[in-house]
Amino acid sequence: MSTRSVQPRVVLSSADMARALTRISHEILESNKGPDGLILLGIPTRGVTLAHRIARLIEEFGDAPVPVGALDVTMYRDDLHRNPTRAPQPTQIPPGGIDGRAVVLVDDVLFSGRSIRAALDALQDIGRPAAVRLATLIDRGHRQLPIRPDFVGKNLPSARDERVNVRLDEVDGREEVTIES
């Protein structure tokens, strides 16, 4: 029995991603009742890129700039001993901090919930936001923790052994979301 390579299936095109991010941006603005007091913190790597895109859209719709930062969660993960990890990247909190602000964590794919749990732990070391919300481009299910996104680009039911790949022009030189076995 031979194993054959199965081509990844495109589940979101560039246009689909743009529509999803536009919808997420509108939902964030509506939920926050405008851009005041809002901060977006992307989880590296692609979450940071997505946070910047959402901030540009919110600024376009809400007529006010939204601060964007990066929240590295590497050292807060509870699975460091099992999973190879990338080198930590700098956490960048916008001037003025997060105290009393509405923080929206932005990530590309929500799977087990462990990255978001780590992000919540990291936030505790930085300050005390008024509220924390979660925006994700893809929610693929299989949660191991009671974490649910507030803003979702696409719910993508998947098998545990499938891989969801988010590719962004700024990081990967192409724009798509694929799923593969």
Across the chain, what does the average pLDDT equal? 93
More confident position, 4 or 88: 88
Phi, psi of 148 (to 5 degrees): -135, 135
Q: Is 133 a member of any domain?
A: yes
**81-87: Cβ within 8 A, 24+ apart:** 86/45
pLDDT of residue 78: 77
Range of the domain at 24: 14-77+96-157
d(CA 71, CA 47): 9
Q: Is 57 a member of any domain?
A: yes
pLDDT higher than 60, residue 1: no
Q: Is 113 a member of any domain?
A: yes
Per the CB < 8 A criterion, the answer to whether 175 and 117 are in contact is no
Q: Is 24 a member of any domain?
A: yes
Residue 3 banded pLDDT, cuts 50, 70, 90: low
Q: Is 39 a member of any domain?
A: yes
Q: Is 173 a member of any domain?
A: no
Residue 87 banded pLDDT, cuts 50, 70, 90: confident
CATH number at residue 134: 3.40.50.2020
pLDDT higher than 70, residue 80: no
Phi, psi of 158 (to 5 degrees): -150, 160
Q: Is 2 a member of any domain?
A: no
pTM above 0.85, yes or no: yes
Question: For 64-91, what is the mean pLDDT?
Answer: 83
DSSP-assigned beta bridge partners for residue 179: 9, 164
Local structure of residue 34 (DSSP, 8 states)? S
Is the alpha carbon torsion for 88, 94, 99, 105 positive or negative? negative
Q: What percent of the chain has pLDDT above 70?
A: 93
Extract the runs of DSSP E, i.e. beta strands, from 63-130: 68-70, 102-110
pLDDT of residue 83: 67
Q: Is 33 a member of any domain?
A: yes
Residue 98 banded pLDDT, cuts 50, 70, 90: very high
Domains of the chain: total: 1
Tokens describing residue 79: 């699975």
pLDDT higher than 90, residue 9: yes
pLDDT of residue 153: 98
17-56: per-residue pLDDT in tens?
999 999 999 999 999 999 999 999 999 999 999 999 999 9
Concatenate the DSSP letters of all residues of 115-152 into one string: HHHHHHHHHHHH---SEEEEEEEEE----SSS---SEE
Per the CB < 8 A criterion, the answer to whether 130 and 100 are in contact is yes
139-180: per-residue pLDDT in tens?
999 999 999 999 999 999 999 999 999 999 999 999 999 999
The identity of residue 151, as a single letter, is F
